[in-house]
Amino acid sequence: MSKAWDEIKALHKQSTFGAKEGLAFKYFSRPLASLILYFIKNSRVTPNQITILSLIVGIAGSIVHMTIWTWWGLLLGGALFMLAHVLDALDGQLARQRKAGSTIGMYFDFFIDEVKAYLMYIALAVRLFFQVADPSTTGDLPFGGAPFATPTWLLDEVGAWTGWPAYWVMIWGLMGLLGLSLGISCTQFLKLKDWKEAFPPPENADPNAKPGGVIGLVERFGHFVVDYPSYIVPLCIINRVDVYLLLYTVVVCAYAARALLGISLRLWRVNPYG
């Protein structure tokens, strides 16, 4: 047993070297992925197959969230999304362990992550819309029942307002989808080789440098909100996935606006005839 554990730790160190390390990846998904990796490292399973499996699990989580409107359905959907998160860590670790990484595999992984981001957002937006429209569908949900409802302790102070109307949930969800789509499109545009050649970074710029102060704190918070939201499970437990919808929408819309403005300002100053 001790030998197996030592091998798992060695696999974890080898397969996570240089990998992205958000809190959920570092303390949850990658340790579990390393445990699974120990059992499949010599199998015929490929990293791309793991990536596709993570998509299937993400689709299953979306279906559960949109169709099972009980608290247990909320928890099961959140658990499936976190399992997809573990598989998202596993595909890269398997590729590193086998030294089988490829550019197309990397971009395929990014693409599937984007699809899962859409799935989770749409599933929870649809669920919230119908539950706000008809609170009787909340079933056995705890902590006040319907999401987007104002807590009782707050009602005593602000009056009779009871929560958002259903059409506002729909509008908020559409805003989030627009922000997510624009943000992903801007990110792909900024990754183009021609863009990088036209607007290279300063010669002495550190590519790993992160802004400090208030801007740095805001950016780190934004990354935490949108980078495969691991906090979705605690929010499912307390039935406050509306918090996810609100935060995610604000962050993706702010990023899309900043990225689109930055691209436009740079190209505005370019003289195509110069």
| Digitized pLDDT (tens) for each residue of the chain, 274 residues in all | 566 776 777 666 666 665 566 666 676 777 888 888 888 888 888 989 999 999 999 999 999 999 988 888 889 999 999 899 889 888 888 888 887 777 888 888 888 988 998 999 999 988 888 877 776 655 444 444 445 554 444 444 444 445 567 778 888 889 999 999 999 899 989 988 888 888 887 776 665 566 667 777 777 777 777 776 678 888 888 888 888 888 899 999 999 999 999 999 988 877 666 5
Q: Locate tokens 């930055």: which residue?
A: 262
Domain regions of the chain by residue span: 2-268
pLDDT for position 159: 46
pLDDT for position 85: 87
Helix ranges (H only) for 134-240 are: 152-158, 166-190, 193-198, 213-226, 232-237
pLDDT for position 52: 94
pTM of the model: 0.81
User: Cα(271)–Cα(266) distance, rounded to whole angstroms?
Assistant: 11
pLDDT for position 161: 43
Q: Locate tokens 């279906």: which residue?
A: 63
pLDDT for position 136: 64
- Inter-residue contact 73 to 25 (CB < 8 Å): no
- Fold held by 2-268: Four Helix Bundle (Hemerythrin (Met), subunit A) (1.20.120)
pLDDT for position 242: 83
Other residues' Cβ atoms within 10 Å of the Cβ of residue 160: 6
Backbone torsions φ then ψ of 43, nearest 5 degrees:
-85, 180
pLDDT for position 38: 82
pLDDT for position 156: 43
pLDDT for position 150: 45
User: Cα(19)–Cα(125) distance, rounded to whole angstroms?
Assistant: 31
pLDDT for position 61: 95
